[in-house]
């Protein structure tokens, strides 16, 4: 099995110091940087858009994993691609034409991902399994960080892992991931863990050692869970 990737969500970082926060997280062991884009319409919060992603790009040397919690998605794909996203993940629930959206992301030169809200069944992504590089399982309701992990989603992760089979698709988990929940989601089949407050808690860009401790604790919780 591939090594588990830890993708800190900058939603939990210092908003006034994002560039330094991204550099600090990577220096402390982050594999990807997860950017949560929210529009105040599809989800009840507003974060940032393509201009912020473009500003962050020079500070990220790993993977910029951009999670689009917006509706509609299609009009903004080109702007986020131009901003330097490596991965663009759209929600099943965000519009009527998921197939078209994923085609457009791929055509823009970016790896496409698809996300499922807690109330959306795994079967919703069956028609597009051969079009995506990543499936993101929301283990909280999207819109805010710091929510409690929804236990019922572990079975969905396992179901999606079976559906993926031998396809080269990352299975990402986003929401309430910490050292207590990481082992269970990895055992179910996840290989990318998005963590916000569980990574950025206790440190800062100028004193980032706690970020490394937090990342190592999450990673340690996943060791040895695969057969």
Sheet holding 32-38, edge to edge: 5-8, 192-195, 170-174, 134-138, 111-116, 87-91, 63-69, 32-38
Helix, strand, or coil here: 136?
strand
| Given the residues 31, 36, 39, 178, the one annotated as active site | 36
The residues near 127 (Cβ < 8 Å, ≥ 6 apart) are 98, 99
| Residue 130 annotated among the catalytic residues of the structure | no
Rounded Cα distance, 21 and 56, in Å: 10
Per the CB < 8 A criterion, the answer to whether 26 and 33 are in contact is yes
| Residue 36 annotated among the catalytic residues of the structure | yes
| Given the residues 133, 174, 178, 191, the one annotated as active site | 174
DSSP state letter for 96 = S
Residues with catalytic roles: 36, 174
């Amino acid at each position: 099995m591939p090594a588990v990737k830890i993708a800190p969500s900058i939603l939990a970082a210092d908003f006034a110091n994002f560039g330094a926060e991204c550099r600090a997280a990577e220096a402390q062991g982050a594999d990807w940087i997860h950017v949560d884009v929210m529009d105040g319409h599809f989800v009840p919060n507003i974060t940032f858009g393509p201009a912020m992603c473009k500003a962050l790009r020079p500070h990220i040397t790993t993977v910029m994993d951009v999670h689009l919690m917006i509706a509609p998605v299609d009009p903004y794909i080109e702007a986020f691609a131009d901003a330097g996203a490596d991965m663009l993940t759209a929600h099943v629930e965000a519009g009527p034409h998921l197939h078209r959206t994923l085609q457009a992301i791929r055509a823009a030169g970016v790896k496409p991902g698809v996300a499922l809200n807690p109330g959306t069944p795994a079967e919703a992504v069956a028609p597009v399994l051969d079009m995506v590089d990543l499936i993101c399982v929301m283990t909280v309701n999207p819109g805010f960080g710091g929510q409690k992990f929804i236990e019922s989603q572990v079975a969905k992760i396992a179901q999606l892992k079976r559906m993926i089979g031998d396809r080269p698709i990352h299975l990402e988990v986003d929401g309430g991931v910490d050292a207590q929940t990481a082992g269970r989601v990895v055992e179910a089949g996840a290989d990318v863990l998005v963590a916000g407050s569980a990574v950025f808690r206790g440190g800062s860009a100028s004193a980032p050692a706690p970020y490394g401790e937090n990342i190592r604790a999450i990673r340690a919780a996943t060791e040895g869970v695969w057969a």
